[in-house]
Amino acid sequence: MRSFAIGIGIMLFSAGAAAAQASQTCVQLERQLASLDQNSVSPQQIRRAEENVARQRYELDRTIAYSRSLGCGRTFLFGPAPSPECRGIDARIDQQRNNLDQLMVQAQRARAGDPNRDVRRNQILAALGQNQCGPQYANAPQQPRRGGIFGLLFGGGAQEEIIEPTVPYSDDSRPNNDSFRTVCVRMCDGFFYPISYSTTPSNFARDAAICQQTCPGTQADLFTYPNPGGDMHQAANMNAESYTNLENAFRYQKEFVKDCSCKPAGQTWAQALSNGQDPTIREGDIVIDEDRAREMSAPKKPDQPQQSQP
């Protein structure tokens, strides 16, 4: 009888020690899970990285367009020499290309993330479920264990293959395909400038009206592409016509097209925009037109002293 009592005591002591060990194991596993989730790349970070790439690509395209308009990057045998500004513009283009390369690498890393992260996370979830660390882990597939009370208390044997649980999308991680970037394309040379950086199809008609209003001197059309993750190679207009299929797609990067301008000949921008004031443009809105795009991409010049008005 005494031996039986001693045996029961040993079992209870062992059970208590095992329970304490299991509790400590749960704490360690939850810390590992929290650390893994904390160090992962969020969808918002991926979106920002892709927006940085798109913004830098747009700035590069604007600078190239301005360079072409000045005749930079070409050899003139019998024509006028390139503008003195070309050297500074060429250096700016090189810098922007380097920046774009770095941003593209960062965006690619953000999208790829840690290839082993999901495997490690599923392993931790399975271990939390096996150790009965809480009802929130009950749905995680459990590794088979040897039967019996000693198997329950002490485990034993080789670890079986972990079955990876299915983790559904959360609201933050679900891909969002409803956001778009809209750009106004000048059809005579393919030059484009942004209308909305992030909008929905319900605003396409408004953005198309702004596109027409800000480019009255030639034919212009609104194109859209998914944001994040898209660029002009995925852009299409309201008739589902692809930008890359246009006759003049990216032509502005290769040559300067004479008489291709959003501003009507013989008019100032103030006159052109006053001919048809668009009710969709509210006070305080910033409209980037062709001249503004060229001005923003041009090297800064020293401030000139203001002339007094007579």
For 78-88, what is the mean pLDDT? 69
- Would you say residue 146 has pLDDT above 90? no
Tell me which of 16-20, 70-74, 131-135 is least confident.
16-20
With contact defined as beta carbons under 8 Å apart, do 215 and 291 qualify?
A: no
Residue 309's pLDDT is what? 46
- Would you say residue 6 has pLDDT above 80? no
- Would you say residue 112 has pLDDT above 50? yes
Residue 296's pLDDT is what? 47
Average pLDDT, the chain: 70
Residue 281's pLDDT is what? 43
Please state the pTM of the whole predicted model.
0.39
Q: What is the pLDDT of residues 171-225, one digit of tens each?
A: 333 334 578 999 999 999 999 888 888 889 999 999 999 888 888 889 999 999 9
Residue 220's pLDDT is what? 94
Tell me which of 1-5, 11-15, 73-77 is least confident.
11-15
200 by Cβ neighbours in 10 Å (0-12 / 13-18 / 19+) ranks as: exposed
Q: Is the dihedral of CA 72, 75, 78, 84 positive or negative?
A: positive
- Would you say residue 245 has pLDDT above 80? yes
Structure-model confidence comparison of residues 258 and 276, the more confident one: 258
- Residue 279's pLDDT band, with cuts at 50, 70 and 90, is very low
- Residue 154's pLDDT band, with cuts at 50, 70 and 90, is very low
Best CA proximity match to 198, nearest among 227, 221, 223, 176: 227
For 80-100, what is the mean pLDDT? 80
- Would you say residue 28 has pLDDT above 60? yes
Number of H helices, E strands in the chain: 8, 4
Which range of 92-101, 118-127, 131-140, 217-226 scores highest in mean pLDDT? It is 217-226
Name residue, tokens 């920046």. Answer: 99
Residue 27's pLDDT is what? 81
Task: Give the separation between CA 293 and CA 298, rounded to whole angstroms.
Answer: 9
For 41-64, what is the mean pLDDT? 79
Residue 187's pLDDT is what? 94
- Per-residue DSSP letters for 194-228? EEEEEE-GGGHHHHHHHHHHH-TTS-EEEEEEETT
